[in-house]
Chains A and B, each alone.
Chain A
């Protein structure tokens, strides 16, 4: 390892305004690892680390709210309203005013709700769903099924061409804000404006951007958005996803999943479905309370954190990692497929490399955890709340070792 790089890393860590936030997470706790050999975890874009407050909160939810109050907690502990309440807690992170985000179900189920509802809201005669051609597969599958159900056809289009391809037949476009493989950040304002100019709606998938960079849904007039909460939001394994429905669209949001939790009077047991007002018409069945309240507690890690600081650190971390890789890894062994340009970069670095699967296994063996995406991509996620510059350096250094 170069001494100069190490000094730089330590300097950058010393100047890092978010450095103390790392203490909010349960890292460096593995009992079978000697002190000082803490793992470098660069897979928070797959499963975020555990915030300290979660275990105690979950214990309280389980032992007091469930164990002692039991059924009363649906009212008294606010379980019934948790989907909207936790939604309002996520809202500022994605640039949404209160009352437009609801939490519950998986990302896939929410993509399904959003796409079907979008087609139902689109002007008559539109029969085409555009989907980001390089999308995380579940979005593509869901788009197919939503299109099939609504009598539309799916047309895959590269996310960068989406603005140009939206046309008079387009009902809705489904676009990833950040590409899961390459880490490329797509143009949310421009694509949204182009879709609106063509009379179409847009559904944004924020899985790889929320919590990593500023998202401004209200400002850019986004129609609908979905995202998961277990990556940069650290909500825990499979924590429930969220759905954003822009306020003025809510009265027209016609869910394909009209479960009783979205009814205007769920306990009235009324004969006919009548959707509630507001964003809670995005709900379906009984919310998964333990997972949802673990997420609620996890979101406390964001208290006092400015998303602009997160973005600043994210870019600096990924810049520094790329610089370390360039200096330490022999030429020609890896190639970055993540854009160098800041405006086009999310919060990960993806490197193409031969034998990427074995290389990642070797990295994990040496305590550097990223992940492998077929066929040949090493993915390193940088989570500014708890990733340090020394971690970026050690990851690059270990990669160089493995490749030599």
Chain B
């Protein structure tokens, strides 16, 4: 890629972008507005409204209860597609259900039950809070030691840190493949190998990775994973999450929320819980079908584009962000808050600035650039390769430079809104 800060660099990248046509498959109502927050909530795919209308009017309104004949295995079918196209997993290893927090709880508890003689859980103190809270709850309830590793806020967890914390007492390691704040990308194969050497299990949170970077659950020997579908997978607000359990492990593990969707011969209504041997044993209950349905057309776009091509573009988009930040923003009080090498990041880049919150607000309201803020002082810039153009990134960085130079943001309230 040509190094340079001229807009023509971005224009050339757009002209050569094999994924450029995918932008039209999303609803873009205001072309002036630059949306760099697809790492929080992905854009609406153009095919989604019609699909949902058909499910509501045809499936629910017309078919009524009979439609469950069709709907009942949607979680499994979507899981199979995720496994095949997004997660590098094998058939029968992924299912879509519940929220990420609930899936994390189920798999963590199942893994801890299977390792009764070990008493340590390793987590990253800088991981997304729900992961920490859920594990804090499980550790407290079971009297386990929760060892919180303090990873570098910008550069992520280092292999040496993990290595020195792993021993024969560790039952479970919970880590995000891509850090929600810095975007730091871990080496899944290396972490799995380190953990395997001491007999510990790793539970991966793939929320900020899936659909942005290639994930190879099967090839890296990963055993457990969860993640959400509303970021780079564009499934819509609060769309159901997924979980992965390595095939060889499924029958040995039992998740703790015993619901009827995990039951053998579910409609026999047997009195004793007797879970199926397959991945569906990790299901609990009736899925929120309309939210689930929205994943289908969204996933079709990722499948068509292919994660390899998405990643290739994501690397270039990320590099454009950091090149422009390096050249323009240093004197304005910014510094990079992400790993420097694009290969060590997911699709988003974080910048440090002491006034990140107010700048983020000013960017959105004065400059029509939507990115997001993360405590304490980080601006997250999240290009989503399926619909973000290189020229959008260039323009966004240019507008950011202007907002930071004008310093109008200093008159904005410093109080955070309820949802950041």
Residues of A within 8 A of B (CB): 26, 29-31, 41, 43, 46-47, 49-50, 54-55, 58-59, 62-63, 66-68, 70-75, 79-80, 105-109, 112, 136-138, 140-142, 144-145, 148-149, 228, 230, 236-240, 255-261, 263, 266-273, 284-292, 294, 364, 369, 371, 373-374
Contacts and interface: CB of A to CB of B under 8 A. Distances in A.
B271 A137 contact: yes
B213 to A, nearest CB: 21
B64 A137 contact: no
A62 B99 contact: no
A84 to B, nearest CB: 13
A50 B238 contact: no
Interface residues of B, number: 82
29 contacts: A30-B62, A58-B53, A59-B52, A62-B48, A66-B41, A74-B41, A74-B419, A75-B419, A80-B419, A106-B259, A141-B259, A142-B258, A142-B259, A230-B286, A238-B292, A259-B105, A260-B129, A260-B130, A273-B133, A285-B99, A286-B100, A286-B230, A288-B99, A289-B238, A289-B291, A290-B291, A292-B291, A369-B66, A374-B267
Given A145-B256, A269-B129, A238 B101 contact: no
Contacts of A373: 269
Given A109-B102, A294-B56, A259 B237 contact: no
The 8 lowest CB-CB distance pairs between A and B, nearest first, are: A285-B99, A259-B101, A285-B101, A291-B288, A106-B285, A108-B259, A260-B130, A237-B289
A59 B256 contact: no
A29 B27 contact: no
B406 interface: no
B102 A240 contact: no
B13 interface: no
A70 B64 contact: no
Given A237-B67, A374-B268, 16 more contacts: A49-B61, A58-B52, A67-B43, A80-B418, A106-B98, A137-B269, A137-B270, A138-B259, A236-B290, A238-B71, A257-B102, A259-B105, A259-B133, A260-B130, A288-B291, A364-B66
Contacts of B228: 286
Contacts of B105: 256-257, 259
A233 B53 CA distance: 20
A47 B65 contact: yes
Contacts of A106: 98, 259, 284-288
Nearest to A272: B136
Nearest to B266: A137
Interface string B114-137: 000000000001001110111011
A108 B273 contact: no
Contacts of B132: 271, 273
A238 B286 contact: yes
Interface in B256-276: 256-261, 263, 267-271, 273
Contact of A258 (B71, B98, B134, B259): B134
Given A105-B102, A286-B228, A291-B288, A75 B418 contact: yes
B105 to A, nearest CB: 6
Contacts of A273: 132-133, 136-137
A56 to B, nearest CB: 10
B280 interface: no
B130 A68 contact: no
A261 B128 CA distance: 12
Contact of A79 (B30, B62, B237, B258): B237
A287 B230 CA distance: 11
Interface stretch (B169-177, B327-335, B369-377): B369-377
A66 B235 CA distance: 11
A227 B153 CA distance: 42
Q: Quick one: which of A55, A267, A288 has the most chain B CB within 10 A? A: A288
A67 B284 contact: no
B29 A138 contact: no
A12 B68 CA distance: 33
Contacts of B129: 260, 263, 266, 269-270
A371 B65 contact: yes
Contacts of B66: 364, 369
B199 interface: no
Nearest to B59: A237
Which interface residue of B41, B100, B228 has the most chain A CB atoms within 10 A?
A: B41
B212 interface: no
A285 B130 contact: yes
Contacts of B61: 26, 29, 49-50, 55
Nearest to A287: B238
Contact of B416 (A109, A267, A292): A267
A181 B65 CA distance: 17
A358 to B, nearest CB: 16
Nearest to A240: B288
Given A108-B259, A138-B260, A239 B288 contact: yes
Contacts of A369: 64-66
Nearest to B60: A50
A390 to B, nearest CB: 19
B37 A259 contact: no
B294 to A, nearest CB: 6
Contact of B370 (A70, A284, A374): A70
A39 B207 CA distance: 44
Contact of A257 (B56, B137, B269): B137
Contact of B257 (A59, A112, A238): A112
Contacts of B375: 267-269
A267 B419 contact: yes
Contacts of A54: 56
B49 interface: yes
A364 B66 CA distance: 10
Contacts of B303: none
A305 to B, nearest CB: 20
Contacts of B130: 259-261, 285
Nearest to A273: B133
Contacts of A284: 99, 101-102
A205 B254 CA distance: 25
A4 to B, nearest CB: 31
Nearest to B63: A30
Nearest to B46: A67
A157 to B, nearest CB: 14
Contacts of B64: 41, 43, 47, 49, 369
A344 to B, nearest CB: 22
A263 B134 CA distance: 11
Contact of A62 (B49, B59, B292): B49
A379 to B, nearest CB: 11
A145 B258 contact: yes
B290 to A, nearest CB: 5
B250 interface: no
Contacts of B9: none
Given A62-B44, A74-B419, A75-B417, A68 B238 contact: no
A266 B374 CA distance: 12
B326 interface: no
A86 to B, nearest CB: 13
B419 A237 contact: no
A258 B29 contact: no
B236 interface: yes
B57 A137 contact: no
B271 A62 contact: no
A92 B255 CA distance: 35
